[in-house]
Structure 1
Amino acid sequence: MTVTDLTTTAWLRELKSDPDPSTALVCFPPGGGSITAYRALARGFSSGTTVFGVQYPGRLDRLGDEPVPVLTELADQAAADLLAWPKSVRLAIFGHSMGATVAYEAARRVEAAGREVAHLFVSGRPAPAFAETRLLHAGPDEGLIADLERLSNDPASVQILREEPSLAELVLPALRSDYRAVETYRHEPGEPLRTAITALISSEDPTTTPAQAEEWRAYSAAGFDLATFPGGHFYLDLPENLSAIVALITRTLAGPVPGRSN
């Protein structure tokens, strides 16, 4: 595989290039996020791995594109572009928060089309059978902003959405759409994935308990592993965690399949 085999599209954006990669790692952002969520992580990978991010509509250079409020439709679009890549591409998939569920659904579609996924990494999100009971997407802006503060590493940084209405007008439509996608998603049961899954959680994440992360085990027929990092929901943004996360992904992709499911 060469980097020229990997097509950049409206949905797939290159974050870290490699002239002759052995693996393409595709990262799905959290709700309200964009490919910028993975720029720091992408820089941590050495030669052999090229990193792409999925750019959802309604943000950054896709601000003029209507947000997609249905999680499975996000997966449909991303998977379609991934399936257009040559079969020689060794594909690994990573997703955080909402992105973990979208990544899982995209992996289902890739496998259903007869393609292999080298590994699925799911971060900061309960297993797919978990159903959200909140309906923040149907409520006022204040509820969305308050939830961002609850999850943020620096709640004060979210205050600007209250102070700058023009910024809120740009940010909140995509955020509301993503909350709707998460809160209305219901898992359709099916066969477990043929690829192994690694779940990543953090020690102080209010959204995902170790028991909930462990439930991802049932979604793989190839093996499962669980890794815990310090921090809150957005532990990925903490510089002190980046090298350990990159090392985990690199080691997993280079090594044997995690502990086999019984």
Structure 2
Amino acid sequence: MDGWIRRFHRAPDAPVQLLCFPHAGGAAGAQHALSAAVAGPLEPVVVQYPGRHDRFTEPFAERIDEVVDAVLDALPADPAGRPLALFGHSMGALAAFETARALQARGRAPAALFVSGHPGPSLPIASYWPGAPSDDELLAEMRLLAGTDDSLLADPMLLEVALPALRADYAMLSAYSYRPGPPLRCPVVALTGDADPRVRVEEMPTWRRETLGPFTTHVLPGGHFYLDDHLPRVARALTSVFARA
């Protein structure tokens, strides 16, 4: 499938759709396992950023607003008119948040916002390098976050693909500027790992500022990619919001 939207696991009888945004440097396939874990109670729909995998020949996005507008334009109408929830991990949390705000501004308030592995958007974006990061600095970042096996980092062909996407996404993060606006009205659920080297647990409650609805945090064991080891618990955190409703 071309374009921004991927459907790995269809669940037409699910009462809620879940739009998922991958992390910096990540492609839609990075959320295939999450898609499988929530399919049934939710119908997952995953964003594929340009410049990677089957969109390899397309230019990278330069601004998160560009991603938001393109995703909303590409998202097909749901014949059943089901509510839409959003999930984003790391950089994807900011994209999911801005998409939730855009949906609400268009009169389609999201059912819930799930943000993972990123502090609240009102906090300044951390700058890890004085200028554009070198390949070595990006490799060190990948090792720090443990999102990629060390053996894969020794593969020149993989790095030729992975590093430009990661560099472009970090540039997009650096260009992000939080704009105060009307708070969301939906539940917001913030998830993080207790040993994330880039996100402090005490930063996650800053997401509470972004909604008038209920707010919940979940702290799970692990680092930046804690969710890979705790998919059943992550899936329960997402689906239980609608079970209670």
Q: TM-score range with shorter-chain normalisation?
A: over 0.9
Letter of the 2:222 partner, please give it: G
1:250 aligns with 2:239: yes
SS of the residue aligned with 1:53?
A: strand
In structure 2, the residue matched to 1:259 is none
Q: Percent identity?
A: 36
In structure 2, the residue matched to 1:3 is none
In structure 2, the residue matched to 1:198 is 189
Which structure 1 residue ranges, 5 or more long, are not aligned? 1-7, 257-262
1:69 aligns with 2:58: no
Q: Is the 8 A contact 1:137 1:180 kept in 2?
A: no
CA deviations 1:139-185 (Å, max 9, x no partner) are: 2111111101100156524532xx41x33222221111101011221
Q: 1:230 aligns with which of 221, 225, 237?
A: 221
1:31 aligns with 2:24: yes
1:145 aligns with 2:139: yes
1:133 aligns with 2:127: yes
Map 1:146-165 → 2, pairs under 5 A: 146-152=140-146, 156-160=150-154, 163-164=155-156
TM-score by length of 2: 0.92
1:91 aligns with 2:69: no
What is the aligned residue count? Answer: 244
Letter of the 2:42 partner, please give it: T
SS of the residue aligned with 2:231?
A: helix
Cα distance change on mapping 1:63 and 1:76 into 2, 3 Å: same
Q: Supply the distance in 2 between the matched residues of 1:57 and 1:136 (Cα, whole angstroms).
A: 26
Cα distance change on mapping 1:75 and 1:49 into 2, 3 Å: same
1:51 aligns with 2:40: no
Q: Supply the distance in 1 between the matched residues of 2:149 and 2:158 (Cα, whole angstroms).
A: 17
Q: Supply the distance in 1 between the matched residues of 2:91 and 2:82 (Cα, whole angstroms).
A: 25
Letter of the 2:27 partner, please give it: S
TM-score by length of 1: 0.87
Which structure 2 residue ranges, 5 or more long, are not aligned? none
Letter of the 2:216 partner, please give it: D
Q: Is the 8 A contact 2:133 2:167 kept in 1?
A: no
In structure 2, the residue matched to 1:11 is 4
Q: Is the 8 A contact 1:152 1:233 kept in 2?
A: yes
CA deviations 1:224-254 (Å, max 9, x no partner) are: 100011110011222xx11111111111122
Q: Is the 8 A contact 2:3 2:74 kept in 1?
A: no
Cα distance change on mapping 1:18 and 1:84 into 2, 3 Å: closer
SS of the residue aligned with 1:200?
A: strand
Q: Is the 8 A contact 1:136 1:143 kept in 2?
A: no
Regions of 4+ moved over 6 Å: none
In structure 2, the residue matched to 1:82 is 75
Cα RMSD for the two superposed structures: 1.9
1:167 aligns with 2:158: yes
In structure 2, the residue matched to 1:181 is 172
